[in-house]
A and B are shown apart, each in its own frame.
Chain A
Amino acid sequence: MAGRKHIIPGFRFTMGLTLFYLALIVLIPMASLVLKGSGMGWEKFWAAALDPRTLHSYYVSFGCAFAAAIINGFFGLILAWVLVRYEFPGKKIMDGLIDLPFALPTAVAGIALTSLYSENGWIGQILYSLGVQSAFSLFGITVALVFIGIPFVARSIQPVLEELDGQYEEAARLLGAGRWTIFRRIIFPELLSPLLTGFGLAFARGVGEYGSVVFIAGNMPYKTEIAPLMIMSKLEQYDYYSAAAIALIMLVLSFVILFGINLWQWRLNRVRGI
Chain B
Amino acid sequence: MVMENKALRYALIGVSVLFLTLMLILPLIVVVSEALAKGWHTYVAAITDPFAQKAMWLTFEATLTAVIANTVFGLAAAWTLTKFSFRGKNLLSSLIDLPFAISPVIAGLVFVMTFGRISYLHPFLQSQHLAIVFAAPGIILATIFVTFPFVAREIIPMMNAQGRDEEEAATTMGASAWTIFRRITLPNIKWGLLYGVILCTARAMGEFGAVSVVSGHIRGKTNTLPLHIEILYNEYNFTAAFAVASILVILAIVVLVLRNIVEWRTKREKEV
Contact = CB atoms under 8 A, between A and B. Distances in A.
Interface of A: 5-11, 13-15, 17-18, 21-22, 25-30, 32-33, 36, 75, 78-79, 81-83, 85-86, 88, 90, 92, 94, 96-109, 111-113, 115-116, 121-123, 146-147, 150, 166, 169-170, 173, 179, 182, 204, 207-211, 215, 228, 231-232, 235, 238, 240-241, 243-244, 247, 250-251, 254-255, 258
A108 to B, nearest CB: 4
Contacts of A18: 73, 76-77, 80, 92
B104 interface: yes
Contacts of B180: 8-10
B206 A104 contact: yes
A14 B24 contact: no
A104 B252 contact: yes
A208 B252 contact: no
A154 to B, nearest CB: 10
Contact of B2 (A86, A97, A182): A182
B249 interface: yes
Interface of B: 1-5, 8-9, 12-13, 15-17, 19-20, 22-28, 30-31, 34, 69, 72-73, 76-77, 79-80, 83-86, 92, 95-96, 98-106, 109-114, 116-120, 141, 144-145, 148, 164, 167-168, 171-172, 176-177, 180-181, 199, 202-203, 205-209, 212-213, 225-227, 229-230, 233, 238, 241-242, 245, 248-249, 252-253, 255-257, 259-260
Contact of B229 (A107, A113, A123, A241): A107
A interface: dominant SS: helix
Given A81-B12, A102-B202, A113-B27, A29 B113 contact: yes
Given A29-B110, A113-B27, A240 B73 contact: no
Nearest to B72: A17
B206 A169 contact: no
5 contacts: A8-B168, A22-B77, A103-B253, A106-B226, A231-B213
A34 B253 CA distance: 39
Given A82-B13, A107-B226, A108-B229, A232 B24 contact: no
Given A30-B110, A82-B12, A210 B212 contact: yes
Of B1, B3, B177, B206, most buried by chain A (CB within 10 Å of CB) is: B206
A14 B76 contact: yes
Contacts of A250: 103, 106
A26 B80 contact: no
Given A5-B86, A14-B77, A247 B245 contact: no
A75 B19 contact: yes
A5 B171 CA distance: 13
B171 A97 contact: no
Contacts of B20: 79, 94, 97-98
A231 B106 contact: yes
Of B28, B103, B241, most buried by chain A (CB within 10 Å of CB) is: B103
A166 B1 contact: yes
A96 B208 contact: no
B105 A208 contact: yes
Contacts of A32: 110, 113-114, 119-120
Given A75-B19, A235-B213, A108 B245 contact: yes
Contacts of A211: 104, 208-209, 212, 226
A108 B84 contact: no
A30 B24 CA distance: 34
B117 A240 contact: yes
B31 A112 contact: yes
